Amino acid sequence: MGSIGFHSLFRRVGLESSMVLGLEPALFNGSLISSRNGNRWYKINIQGKAAHAGRFGEPFVNAAHCASEFISKIHLLNEIDKKTKVNVGSIRSMTEKFNIICDHVEIKLDVRFPTLEVRDSLDKAIKSLLETSSVECFYSKQKCFFSLEIVDDCPPMDESESSYCLIDTYRNILTQYEEESCMAEHSGGAADINYFAHPGLITIDGLGPKTRGMHTAKEVMDLDSFYTRQYALCDLLNYLEKKKLSLRGEDYEH
């Protein structure tokens, strides 16, 4: 679930910090995480007008048809090569009969984006698709009403040039404990560290052990990496402490 209730605190601490280290698991190939997608969760309610499915002349608007049209179009918003994903996680209706026209549908929508600009562009596209639905009553021309609630709004952790010097330092330290040098990659998943991020902040995530199958019953951890990554992190913290003391000494001399 993440640290729900602490997001505003994370933002404040991030603004007061020069560096944030994330202990989320590394990727299973050992890679650190240099940037992360943001995510926004929408709860969309579409309200139509119920009627008996066999009656003619009685006004109706099918909310399920409106939802289906919307879902078929949002699939086109996916641009995997640009790290953009839009996916329906749940569709729910209280209508359970064959002969009653569906008058209400709830959609849970998950949106992943690499930048805030992409997030805002997707937001406009989603609202436009809902507003321009072609589903309407054959008699009154009435359309469905919709409401849209943002349940979670996690910003992206942008790739930062200022982070790469520290990433290289950690990679050099890690080679003392592991035979292969690790890489730093983008992750499509969001994490608590995203809420700390702001321009110029040094961020590294994935400093935990190697794992695979996260959030599933088949999640596994490379036990050896639990120790090697632990030792490397301690060495990195010692390096930073010495660096800080060195800089303080220079300030004192000047």
Q: List C-alpha distances in Å: 98 to 48, 50, 52.
A: 16, 12, 10
Phi, psi of 63 (to 5 degrees): -65, -30
Q: What is the pLDDT of residue 159?
A: 83
Residue 251 one-letter amino acid: D
CA angle 39, 41, 32 (to 5 degrees): 25
Return the pLDDT at 246.
73
pLDDT for residue 202: 92
Q: Tens place of pLDDT for every residue, the chain, 254 residues? A: 567 789 899 999 999 999 999 999 998 899 999 999 999 999 999 999 999 999 999 999 999 999 999 999 999 999 999 999 999 999 999 888 999 999 999 999 999 999 999 999 999 999 999 999 999 999 999 999 999 999 999 999 988 888 889 999 999 999 999 988 899 999 988 899 999 988 889 999 999 999 998 888 999 999 999 999 999 999 999 999 998 877 665 554 44
Query: Where do the structural domains in the chain lie, given as residue ranges?
Result: 7-37+156-253, 39-154
pLDDT of 250 reads: 55
- In this prediction, residue 161 carries a pLDDT of 82
Q: How far apart are CA 132 and CA 158, in angstroms?
A: 33
Query: Which CATH number, 1.10.620.20, 3.30.420.40, 3.30.1370.160, 3.30.70.360, labels domain 39-154?
Result: 3.30.70.360
Q: Determine the pLDDT at residue 254.
A: 41
Task: Give φ, ψ of 173 to 5 degrees.
Answer: -65, -40
CATH class label, 7-37+156-253: alpha beta
> Are both 7-37+156-253 and 39-154 of the same fold?
no
Judge if pTM exceeds 0.85.
no
Q: Which positions ≥6 away from 177 have C-beta within 8 Å?
A: 227, 228, 231, 232
Q: Given this model, what pLDDT does residue 252 score?
A: 40
pLDDT score recorded for residue 180: 85
Separation in Å, CA 60 to CA 48, 50, 93, 106: 7, 6, 16, 18
